[in-house]
Amino acid sequence: MTSVNDPQSRAASTPPGDTLASAIQREEADGFEIEVGDLREDAALTPTEGDEQPAPADDVRLPALPVHGAPLRGRSPFAARPHARRRRALAGASVALAITLTLAILIVMSAPNPGAALGTLLRLPTPTATPVLQLGDDQVVVARGVYWGRLTIDGRVVATSALSTQPLQLARGAHTIGYQAQFFPTLRCRLSVPAARDDTCPLLAQSAIDTPSSTFGQTRILDLQATVNRLPAAQSQRLLAAFAVALAGLTRTGAIAQGEQYVTASGQVATATAPLTATLIPSVAASRHLYHAGQPNATQVEDACDPLCDFQGSFGVDLQSWPLATYLYTAWRYMLPNGQTITAPRPALPLGQRILPFFAWWDAAGWHVSLSPLIEGDVECALGQQQLAQLAVQTNVSGVALEPLPAADVTQGCLLLYQPPSATQPLSAAAQVLYRYGVLLAANTVARQLFPSVGATDAAETATARRLAAELQPTPSGVSLTPVANAS
């Protein structure tokens, strides 16, 4: 009987002109493989001489089993094919992956916080919560700017009119701020909503200016740094020259009649033996040149009135002028009939009571300055109140100082009102003290009773005191010249 594994039988069934190898290739193309080998024990491992061997196909092997006991050479006819090994490997990997995913799902579902557990298992980045904006976090106001400056936010120009009323609203994220104004260094910085550590814009503390406390919140105050101390030296000198001209316009001249009192060069009170001419001389301190850009103390002295400074009353930018300030000093100078002049000492006064706000602007003609003549009267009244308070302490007189009443003409004096501590006394019972030419004068009976050491007003000065008292109705200032506990 002929076996299907018999090469001769296989060859006999092959069509003429065809080879065994070709037949095997056709069978492989049909989707399966057959390997034929001689199973007889006495078969040789190699073909006998003279036998024709067809050239094997590229992927066809015709191995033969060795004689019993001989070592196996080549690959076993029952060995798995490479593509079969790949299929088994893929199947094993799929099973392992399914087991891993099943375990992962069980771990995640059993965790208290499945979302966090899944992020940890997959090593996902931890999401960052969006910060909640507090009141004012997305708002900014400006300060220390000038009306001719140009502000931009992310390249968009902001109208100057928008800087003087309401805060500017900013969107979330980083913003590029730019500010340019002639005479001043260009500012370019970064400002973020909410605030970030890498922000570079200069800011002012809210305590530096007057701010609406109810709605201001965390609103930031952008410092535009257009300060008078940053002006170039040439422009600073021109501004000071314009200010000196305006200040000279505050000079006031009056007459001292014979018998009226004034302060001598030694600071003593004297009585005029002849008519004198009195002149109020306003002045400011000389510049000490404190500010120098780039110096270690530049930020500490930038706001110093040396002698001029920025008037930081509130945020925003004035639309038509530049608000500035200085400290005003006044002194009386008297001319005697022989032409000799006497200048009274300049009394000491806290700087806060010497503040002289003014406005400056510039055009093609140069710098211009506008001063109010009423400031001189305010300074004179402050000097008089200070002197009266010292007298009340020295004489142990208790009471409450009321708002002073300055005359429109500073040479006419300032009326000081001092009310004894009594809830039943009307305002007309307050002591009226006229402060004129640096001298305190009792203008009514109450004043002469409380302060008998001061001189009395003459008829003209008494009329001035009565006129000032009738012009304005004073209100209590709430400032006690001496503590109530010390009342006698």
Q: What is the DSSP string of 239-292?
A: HHHHHHHHHHTT-EEEEE-TT-EEE-TTS-EEE-SS-EEEEEEEE-PPP-----
Task: Name the pLDDT band for 299 (thresholds 50, 70, 90).
Answer: confident
pLDDT (tens digit per residue) in 115-135: 665 566 566 566 666 778 888
Q: Which of 280-284, 294-298, 423-427 has the highest mean pLDDT?
A: 280-284
> What residues contact 198, with CB distance under 8 A and at least 6 apart?
190, 192
Size (the chain), residues: 488
This prediction has a pTM of 0.67
pLDDT (tens digit per residue) in 261-295: 999 999 999 999 999 999 999 999 988 888 877 77
Angle (CA) 345-350-355 rounded to 5° is 100
Rounded to 10 deg, the angle between the 114-121 and 82-110 helix axes is 140
Cβ pair 349, 383 in contact under 8 A: yes
Between β-strands 439-442 and 455-456, what pairing exists: parallel, antiparallel or unpaired?
parallel
CA neighbor of 134 nearest in space, from 222, 220, 218 = 218
Distance CA 420, CA 406 (A): 21
Cβ pair 228, 216 in contact under 8 A: no
Half-sphere exposure of 226 (CA within 13 A, CB side): 27
Q: How much of the chain exceeds pLDDT 90, in percent? A: 49
User: Dihedral sign, CA of 5, 9, 10, 13?
Assistant: negative
